[in-house]
Amino acid sequence: MSLTDEDELLHGESDEEGQKEEEAQEEEATERDQIESCPLTQDMMAQSLSLLCRTGNGLAHAFVKADLKERSLTDIALLSSFVHLRFLDISSNFLTDFSPLAALTQLLWLKADGNQLPGFRDQPLGQLAYLQWLSLAANRLGDTEGLGGPALESLNLTGNGIQRVSGLEYHRLTNLVTLELRGNSLETTDGIYLPNLRNLYLAQNKIKQLEGLEKLERLTTLHLRGNQLETLDGLSPSMKSLQYLNIRDNLIASRKALQSLLGVAQTLQAIVLTGNPFSDMEDYRLLVLTYLPLLERLDKEHFSSEERMEAQERIREFEESTEQEDQ
């Protein structure tokens, strides 16, 4: 193929990608146009309120919980008047702007799954000083820039279009313990700088590389099912709290991948490897136990005493043969 032909081919592919992107944008615009305007009303609020509690100063009472899911809402401006709300469900609406939530300074819990939020920039979520639990699954988030929350402990971003994590930094999310990013378009684990994180769920992405994990010193659970990992390079000895690792349904084919687990062998209690080519090898369970003698469960099944004895025997045989070679 000549250089000219190759240029034309690449140019054609570029044009095709651009056309697809334009078509997707037009489709989104058409969808927005077809959505009938539906602002929040006083009647809707009256029906949604529950849980009567004392207000912050203790001198009055107010309803602190509102359930507004599946109301076809496009505008929640009225919410800014309900400053005592602590628990709010606005799931399954057509919301693209959460700015009225800035007035809800007492909010502890927010569920906003199934809306159309495109990003965190210019949104007030990071200003909510007491917000501890936030779920934004199945929105239209393309990145994580601009997200923060001084009290946030649990964050669910499952089922968005996030391609790369950025902006998830310790000084903005000091107390985050659980992060769910299942079902996005991530290709790497890099960008998660959260040393207090305990649980990280990254299943059903396109992850090919484990990067940046050395910063997650307190992580106990790492879930990577259904990605495209061929190795486990990137697991770090500094992950000195890791207890559970799920890498089911990846592309791991070589026993060499087990060497990357040696750095976390002292704390790892359970691992799920089924669905990888490696798990079809003869004596698969015994091989894993040989590398990880302290492991309690493989593929959710505990090791038998017979398996442990056989693994110990193999380890002794290997050590003896190594000593003889050294002599």
What's the pLDDT score for residue 247? Answer: 98
Q: Token pair 């894993």 is at which residue?
A: 288
Which residue range is the domain that position 316 belongs to?
A: 186-326
104 vs 82: CA distance, rounded Å: 7
The pLDDT tens digits along the chain (327 residues) read 554 454 554 455 556 655 655 655 555 555 555 789 999 999 999 999 999 999 877 778 999 999 999 999 999 999 999 999 999 999 999 999 999 999 999 999 999 999 999 999 999 999 999 999 999 999 999 999 999 999 999 999 999 999 999 888 788 899 999 999 999 999 999 999 898 999 999 999 999 999 999 999 999 999 999 999 999 999 999 999 999 999 999 999 998 889 999 999 999 999 999 999 999 998 999 999 999 999 999 999 999 999 999 999 988 877 766 655 555
Does a structural domain hold residue 307?
A: yes
Task: Judge residue 217's burial from the number of C-beta atoms within 10 Å of its C-beta, 0-12 exposed, 13-18 middle, 19 or more buried.
Answer: middle
Does a structural domain hold residue 321?
A: yes
124 vs 76: CA distance, rounded Å: 14
Q: Token pair 């393309």 is at which residue?
A: 142
Does a structural domain hold residue 238?
A: yes
What's the pLDDT score for residue 3? Answer: 44
What's the pLDDT score for residue 89? Answer: 98
Does a structural domain hold residue 5?
A: no
Does pTM top 0.85 for this prediction? yes
Does a structural domain hold residue 31?
A: no
The CATH number of the domain holding residue 282 is: 3.80.10.10
The token duo for 37 is 């305007």
Does a structural domain hold residue 87?
A: no
136, 111 contact by CB (below 8 A): no
Does a structural domain hold residue 74?
A: no
DSSP of 235-304: B-TT-TT--EEE--SS----GGGGGGGGGGTTT--EEE-TTSGGGGSTTHHHHHHHH-TT--EETTEEPP
Does a structural domain hold residue 318?
A: yes
Number of compact structural domains in the chain: 1
